[in-house]
């Protein structure tokens, strides 16, 4: 049942367009060029219910399965939004230690190692080793839990390398090397889904497009083994946390999803894939721009949505990036350059006529 607002009253009407039908229609129209549906699953809840209905509540053993849309069977591949998954990993590390195995060796990462490194670095008066890190990155009561940038800057190669060096010269404890491995692991894992380059830039070989002979494939295989061994524990009691945070499982699901996405697209003639295009930044920017019309209206009617979209279309969709938004610019303005050219040509014509 959809709610339609009319004036100050809410009109509860049941429309013919059931959410399931809309969902099935979305699947159908996104498979016109490639006979597979790549679906980016962001949250648990309603979408899980709709998928279960489409699957007729059949439990599938494999990660990927097919749903019937009209007369076609379409394959569904689950992808969770990697920036939000990285936030989940960092947020769980704030109050719990994480156990994981690398090449048969058990390791234990702790947020206290990150805090210790930050405290040492903060005491350097002139030249800090980690100038980007602030109290909003480290202190639990100041951390912005949904700020992707802060999580990325902590779970980074730079933090990993400086922590490793500090541990080797006994400035930090020997156990800090485990946290070093943890930070480097997620730096490598996040690079492919955050890169927008076709070639290696600044020595970051994983922050490039995925190709047939690129190193991403081996990285994913190695990381999947580590994720399968990963779990969180209570720092004091050392007891295993239950239930296991879903963000670990969802990382594994997303990696397997990207492996399947590459296989599907490669079989259809696509040789290079920039995984950043699968992030939800474009959607967040789009809906943020929509909400900016109508005084931050979070529950627009269909008419209001169409009106706002028309305005955005003529204003080049997402020419302005909302300050403080939890995503990066997606350069979506390039999608409507033809409209800009049209208006520029019209303006030039007007100037010529005035000169004549």
Nearest C-alpha neighbor of 194 from the set 274, 250, 260: 274
Per-residue DSSP letter, 277:
G
- Taking 50 as the pLDDT cut, the residues of the chain under it are 1-20, 22-45, 317-320, 322-324, 332-338, 346, 352
pTM higher than 0.75 for the full model? Answer: no
Domain boundaries, the chain: 82-245, 280-319
**Whole-number pLDDT of residue 11:** 39
Entry field: residues in the chain: 356
- Would you call 119 helix, strand, or coil by DSSP? helix
Q: Is the dihedral of CA 296, 302, 307, 309 positive or negative?
A: positive
Write the pLDDT tens digit of every residue in 104-116: 999 999 999 999 9
Burial of 194 (0-12, 13-18, 19+ CB in 10 A): buried
Nearest C-alpha neighbor of 259 from the set 41, 59, 78: 78
Nearest C-alpha neighbor of 245 from the set 232, 226, 258: 232
**Whole-number pLDDT of residue 318:** 45
**Cα–Cα dist 273/187, whole Å:** 19
Nearest C-alpha neighbor of 47 from the set 71, 27, 32: 27
Q: Are 129 and 162 in contact (CB under 8 A)?
A: yes
**Whole-number pLDDT of residue 264:** 87
Write the pLDDT tens digit of every residue in 126-182: 889 999 999 999 999 999 998 999 999 999 999 999 999 999 999 999 999 999 999
């Amino acid at each position: 049942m959809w709610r339609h607002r009319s004036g100050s009253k809410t009109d509860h009407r049941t429309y013919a367009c059931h959410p399931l039908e809309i969902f099935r229609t979305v699947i159908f129209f996104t498979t016109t060029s490639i006979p597979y549906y790549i679906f980016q699953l962001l949250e648990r809840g309603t979408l899980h219910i709709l998928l279960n209905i489409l699957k007729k509540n059949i439990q599938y053993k494999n990660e990927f399965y097919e749903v019937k849309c009209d007369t076609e069977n379409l394959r569904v591949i689950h992808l969770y939004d990697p920036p939000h998954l990285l936030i989940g990993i960092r947020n769980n590390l704030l109050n719990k230690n994480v156990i994981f195995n690398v090449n048969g060796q058990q390791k234990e990462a702790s947020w206290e190692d990150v805090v210790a490194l930050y405290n040492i670095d903060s005491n350097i008066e002139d030249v800090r080793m980690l100038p980007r890190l602030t109290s909003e990155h480290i202190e639990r009561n100041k951390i912005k839990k949904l700020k992707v940038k802060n999580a990325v800057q902590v779970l980074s190669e730079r933090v990993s390398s400086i922590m490793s060096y500090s541990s080797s010269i006994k400035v930090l404890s020997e156990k800090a090397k485990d946290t070093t491995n943890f930070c480097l692991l997620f730096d490598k894992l996040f690079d492919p889904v955050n890169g927008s380059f076709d070639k290696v830039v600044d020595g970051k070989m994983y922050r490039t497009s995925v190709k047939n002979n690129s190193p991403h494939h081996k990285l994913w295989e190695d990381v999947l083994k580590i994720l399968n061994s990963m779990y969180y524990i209570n720092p004091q009691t050392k007891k295993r946390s239950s239930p296991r945070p879903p963000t670990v499982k969802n990382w594994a699901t997303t990696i397997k999803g990207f492996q399947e996405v590459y296989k599907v697209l490669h079989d259809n003639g696509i040789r290079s894939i920039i995984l950043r295009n699968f992030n939800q930044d474009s959607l967040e920017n789009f809906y943020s721009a929509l909400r900016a019309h109508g005084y931050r209206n979070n529950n627009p009617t269909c008419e209001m949505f169409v009106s706002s979209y028309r305005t955005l279309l003529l204003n080049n969709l997402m020419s302005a990036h909302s300050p403080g938004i939890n995503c990066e610019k997606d350069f979506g303005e390039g999608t409507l350059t033809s409209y800009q050219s049209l208006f520029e040509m019209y303006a030039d014509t007007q100037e010529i006529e005035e000169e004549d």
